Structure 1
Amino acid sequence: MRANHHQFVAFAYVVREGSFSAAAARLGVTQSAVTQHVAKLEKQVGTPLLLRSRDGVSLTRTGQEFYDLADRLVALEGTISERLQGFEAMARGHIKIIANAPLPALKAISQFHRAHPDVEIDFALHAWTTASRLLRERRADVGLITDPPPTDDWDKVVVQKVRYAAYLPPNSPFAARTSLSLHELATDTVILPEAGSLTERVVRQAQARHVVVFPRTIRMTTFPLMCEAVLQGAGIAIFLSNSGLISRGLIEVPIVEMPETHETAIVAPKDRARLRLVAAFIDIAAASALD
């Protein structure tokens, strides 16, 4: 028995959606049907493609190789379907978006939703390492990533260039400053994003270059949490400037030793970038950056 189209599609959706039940819901079939398709594909291959756990599924090495092929098949099928359906395909559908930069992503999503209100949007904010990996593994249609890793497999449109800043409460003794040094920040508690973030990596490199140690640090998972911690007096946060409206009420001060600008770009696998919904999102995200 040869592997068929339905088995590859079921396998691709299990990986993209993170579980058999979510894949079944997305495909509009029973979970049993999805399970059987994947089991038959694994039998044909002769080795497991997925590792099952309580937290969902993950790919084996062979599974990753087959997923790359299966997801390209799904993308090609989507392109063919769009050609057959014409512009009716723009009135509905589903798009999966990831980002490590909250403000440009949410701004673009808001404008995209207004233009295409019936399209279902899945959005998740991840640390830089995770966001880059998920897009590289084709787990999302499109991403907004700061300093995306260079690759010929992605289309890229730069939407923002910013540098790092210290986020301070208005009553901070540093609030009136036009710039701050890392040594001055070391006198306070420094709030940083979680390990694996671009910020964590850039700050660590700057500390090494300028021989600065932060005696007290707090790690937080998201930018909104960091801003709330600053407002509550927990310390000073380091993050990319102009990262979100949640920072209103805080003071942004550039950091002397971190003058480099960092590009936030819309990136998508080349074949997915040709899909009408993804292309529409890229166009809207690029336009929203100019507003």
Structure 2
Amino acid sequence: MELRQFKYFVAIVDCGSLSRAAQQLFIAQSALSKQMAELESELGTQLLLRSRNGVAMTEAGKVFYEYAQGITKQVRDARAAVHVAAESVSGSVVAALPQSVSPMIALPLMRAAARRYPDVVLHLNEELTGNMADQLLRGRVDVAMFSPAMPAEDIQFTPLVEEDFVFLDSPQSPHALPPGDVSIQQATARPLVWPAHAHGHCTRWLVDAVLERAGHSAAQVVAEINSVYTLKAAVEAGLGPTIMPLGLAQREVQEGRLVAHRIDLPSMHRTLGLCVSVHLPATNAKRAVCTLIADVVRDLCESGQWAGARALAPVRKTK
């Protein structure tokens, strides 16, 4: 396989048709079609379904697309790296944040990056956690904030913050509990509004693990919602309570739209940190963004802007 075939395949998928991709790539459509036929022949499988309305990926094509995006990104990064001075902090960095972290850190991070590293283009992706791990392992993402759940042989994890989970409910609920701490039995007495299990690495998985260690069965579920904002709205509307980090709902709690109860179980918290691939080189820009994320997290915790969170050890430099 040639590098240009990866590039061509990504362009075809992104453009939705061979003709539009050919125009974008400034090559003849017949030449582009020939390149794709050779690629499919070499792989021994069909990647694209062609029709008069454009192209669509086969299941094999969807898998290949993920790898092709990662490969083309790494080549762009390599080309950029060899054209800058060794001490220069410039280039492009893709950072991924879970939906349960983005509301606390995304805007402060973007402001800090623009102020401290004006020559770094920071791409910030807010992602479902089930997607983040795959993107990081395939090289489409440079750094991610995640729980320590990725394979240690592939990912370097540096802990940054420890964050408490709380029991959240609507103050209008007929089952609302009086102010104060609640037991784990009270917190799980009613079915919860939860993210789907496939995307619960930083929330649901961690709570279930705490419950298992404490000898409790997994919480019952009334609804699964893969949007943090919709999930909070569902709790506010009385669909059911949830268990999530306090910082994620601090505005709704302050405004009286949700009520937060501390759960009387010392281990009811999560640890989040930086995740980078051990298989990919660390550019100056990537190192700088890792340090910047650690600094922003620490500042948010120490200033009290990230409710229920405690900063941990400073970030280690990536290799």
CA offsets, 1:139-176, max 9 Å, x none? 32222112331323333332211232212345674352
Q: Distance in 2 between matches of 1:41 and 1:115?
A: 46
Q: Distance in 1 between matches of 2:34 and 2:223?
A: 46
Q: Distance in 1 between matches of 2:296 and 2:265?
A: 31
**Residue aligning to 1:288:** 296
**Residue aligning to 1:193:** 195
Q: Which amino acid aligns with 1:67?
A: Y
Q: Distance in 2 between matches of 1:203 and 1:82?
A: 41
Q: Which amino acid aligns with 1:42?
A: L
Q: Distance in 2 between matches of 1:38 and 1:59?
A: 20
Instruction: Report whether the alignment pairs 1:67 with 2:67.
Output: yes
**Residue aligning to 1:265:** 273
- 1:280 shift after superposition: 2.5
**Residue aligning to 2:96:** 98
**Residue aligning to 1:19:** 13
Task: Report the secondary structure of 2:230's partner residue.
Answer: helix
Task: Report the secondary structure of 1:283's partner residue.
Answer: helix
TM normalised by structure 2 equals 0.67
Q: How many residue pairs were aligned?
A: 278
Task: Report the secondary structure of 2:238's partner residue.
Answer: coil
CA offsets, 1:177-204, max 9 Å, x none? 12x2332134445221123112333344
Q: Distance in 2 between matches of 1:59 and 1:89?
A: 41
Q: Distance in 2 between matches of 1:31 and 1:88?
A: 38
- 1:4 shift after superposition: 3.4
**Residue aligning to 1:226:** 231
List alignment gaps of at least 5 residues for structure 1: none
Q: Distance in 1 between matches of 2:115 and 2:34?
A: 37
**Residue aligning to 2:241:** 236
**Residue aligning to 2:42:** 45
- 1:36 shift after superposition: 4.8
Q: Give the superposed CA RMSD.
A: 4.3
**Residue aligning to 1:174:** 177
Q: Which amino acid aligns with 1:19?
A: V
Match of 1:275 among 277, 280, 283: 283
Instruction: Report whether the alignment pairs 1:134 with 2:135.
Output: yes
Q: Distance in 2 between matches of 1:147 and 1:99?
A: 14
Q: Distance in 2 between matches of 1:32 and 1:239?
A: 53
Instruction: Report whether the alignment pairs 1:210 with 2:216.
Output: yes
List alignment gaps of at least 5 residues for structure 2: 300-319
CA offsets, 1:18-72, max 9 Å, x none? 93329x99xx73597795586166156242374569996477399659938x845
Task: Report the secondary structure of 1:163's partner residue.
Answer: strand
Identical columns (%)? 13
**Residue aligning to 1:154:** 155
- 1:102 shift after superposition: 2.4
CA offsets, 1:244-284, max 9 Å, x none? 65444244323345725422112122355612333232121
- 1:219 shift after superposition: 2.0
Contact 1:18 1:56 in 2 (8 A): no
Q: Distance in 2 between matches of 1:258 and 1:31?
A: 62
Task: Report the secondary structure of 1:84's partner residue.
Answer: coil
